[in-house]
Amino acid sequence: MKLSHRIAAMAATAGITVAAFAAPASAADFASLSSTNKELSTQYDWVACGVLEFGLKQAGVLEEGQHNRELAEAIAAKGENGLTQQFPQLDEWNEGQAAALADRAQTCGLVKADTYLSELSSNFSS
């Protein structure tokens, strides 16, 4: 193994270790929103993929190359308003529905499955 490959491997390992400890508290909720750690929701399986794609594009939340969690966060942000800020239960419901819609979008092939690397990059960008 070349020295540059060893250095790159050590840097990657160090970066992942630092990210694991530096990740914000919201990362603890990753299991509830991410398709990496859970079964995909079947709640919206009745929605046709074409209809879902059209609706998400019209809402301005679907982007090319997006991961499941990124779409769920975009949908949840669209659903936030004064009521979701005032009532935590409504905010939790909004996030759950957004995650279920993102799961359906993943099943339709509109977004990519979450990976641990995509999760780490979203934590560092926020």
How confident is the model at residue 22, as a pLDDT?
42
For residue 21, tell me if it sits in a domain.
no
Q: What is the CATH number of the domain that holds 102?
A: 1.10.10.1280
For residue 85, tell me if it sits in a domain.
yes
| Cβ-proximal residues to 101 (8 Å cutoff; 6+ apart), any chain | 44, 52, 56, 71, 72, 75
For residue 110, tell me if it sits in a domain.
yes
Q: Tokens in use for 39?
A: 């079964």
For residue 2, tell me if it sits in a domain.
no
For residue 93, tell me if it sits in a domain.
yes
Q: Tokens in use for 124?
A: 């560092």
Q: Tokens in use for 125?
A: 């960008």
How confident is the model at residue 118, as a pLDDT?
55
Identity at 21, one-letter amino acid code: F
pTM: 0.65
pLDDT in tens, 18-28: 444 444 444 44
pLDDT in tens, 56-74: 999 999 999 999 999 999 9
122/43 Cα distance (integer angstroms): 25
Tally of structural domains, the chain = 1
- Print the domain residue range for 56: 26-125
How confident is the model at residue 115, as a pLDDT?
80
For residue 13, tell me if it sits in a domain.
no
pLDDT in tens, 78-123: 998 888 888 999 999 999 999 999 999 999 999 999 887 655 555 5
